[in-house]
Amino acid sequence: MEFSFINMIAQASLVAKLVLVLLLLMSVSSWALMIQKALALSAAYRKSRIGTEHFEKAANLREAVQSLGADPASPLYYVAHQGVLEFNRSKEMGNASEVVVDNVRRALRQGVASEEARLERSLSLLATTANTAPFIGLFGTVWGIMSSFHSIGMLKSASLATVAPGISEALVATAIGLAVAVPATVGFNIFMGKISQVDTLLVNFAGVFLNRVQRELNANRPVQRAGATEM
């Protein structure tokens, strides 16, 4: 059966061979991307969860930020970097605490959005493969059927031996197109779910970071006394 399949591919028309080569390239590319994304997203989820725990356990904001500096590859690193930059910039400008908190909140939101976009990068290849591979296979199917009818017209015979090669070529293109599209579709949906999980961790981290900033500002706020101590 294996020899027959290879022999059938070897005897296929040039157009059919080009279709099969294109589907093979799409399959290899999508599988390579899925392996890379699976490793990257697993690491991102693990680092985000552990990094948030260490951030919460730190004594102050400086130590909390330093705990993330040891791993620049963590998704939390960029988010925290954006928050720290805006925090320092707003304090240097002498802004009120409410303004500082609001500016840091926007910086954290932008950092989370940037990290989410980075994690989603290249997933368009999977979406394109999932959407186009069946139609490319269908093109091979149509071409095989056209070849079969052409053979019938040239030989003036509708015997099985005449139409079988073209029909086989058509079925192979359809099967391979589906075999390429299905894993890409499943992988895309799985990765979007994992990205959503990481995004939830990043949003939670942004909230923890903002709480740290507010406590830091309240701790440095001058104490006013009017019969009782107010913070």
Comparing C-alpha atoms, which of 48, 94, 33 is closest to residue 208? Answer: 48
Q: What proportion of the chain, given as a percentage, has pLDDT over 70?
A: 81
Amino acid, res. 78:
Y
Joined tokens for residue 16 = 């059919």
Rounded Cα distance, 218 and 231, in Å: 7
The pTM score is 0.80
225 found inside a domain: no
Comparing C-alpha atoms, which of 8, 14, 30, 11 is closest to residue 133? Answer: 30
* Neighbouring C-alpha atoms within 13 Å toward the C-beta of 2: 0
**Structural contact between residues 209 and 46, judged by C-beta atoms closer than 8 angstroms:** no
Q: What is the pLDDT of residue 128?
A: 94
70 found inside a domain: yes
> How many domains, the chain?
1
pLDDT at 28 > cutoff 90: yes
228 found inside a domain: no
Mind listing the pLDDT tens digit for each residue in 122-160?
899 999 999 999 999 888 888 877 777 776 766 665 566
Q: For residues 202-218, give the mean pLDDT.
A: 88
Q: What is the pLDDT of residue 226?
A: 45
167 found inside a domain: yes
Mind listing the pLDDT tens digit for each residue in 87-120?
888 888 887 888 888 999 999 999 999 999 999 9
Q: Which domain holds residue 84?
A: 2-218
227 found inside a domain: no
Rounded Cα distance, 202 and 112, in Å: 6
DSSP sequence for 205-220: HHHHHHHHHHHHHHHH
206 found inside a domain: yes
17 found inside a domain: yes
224 found inside a domain: no
